Amino acid sequence: MGNNETKVKNMAKPEKSFKCGGCEAAVFENEIIKGGMKIPIKKVSFQKRYKSADGEWKSTGSLDVNEIPKAILVLTKAYEYISFGSSDESDSHSEE
């Protein structure tokens, strides 16, 4: 691998997650190696969890109209966490 190529390391457990209803945004810190230097990169994973007709829990990125505000909320909280470094546990919302 040359100095200008980028190598991505495996993702670890999320460092923080935000939930509202079935919507969840999880913040991960990945490390890439670029030009021989290790660079931390924060990324956000989003999913909506739901129970299928056969009773199994599944994930999707598809949202009903009423879930859009919940998705916006958890993604905004993830953005604030990354941008402002919040570690306050009260930031995590759970509405089941």
In a domain, residue 96? The reply is no
Q: 89: pLDDT confidence band, cut at 50, 70 and 90? A: very low
In a domain, residue 68? The reply is yes
Q: What pTM did the predictor assign?
A: 0.71
Q: Of 40, 60, 63, 42, nearest to 51 (Cα)?
A: 60
Domain count, the chain: 1
Average pLDDT over residues 14-32: 95
In a domain, residue 53? The reply is no
Beta-carbon contacts of residue 16 (< 8 Å; ≥ 6 apart): 26, 27, 78, 81, 87, 92
Average pLDDT over residues 12-27: 94
H-run or E-run covering 60: strand 57-60
In a domain, residue 26? The reply is yes
In a domain, residue 54? The reply is no
In a domain, residue 12? The reply is yes
The helix/strand count (H/E) of the chain reads as 1, 5
What domain range includes position 86? Answer: 6-46+61-91
In a domain, residue 1? The reply is no
In a domain, residue 80? The reply is yes
**Residues 54-64: pLDDT tens digits?**
999 999 989 99
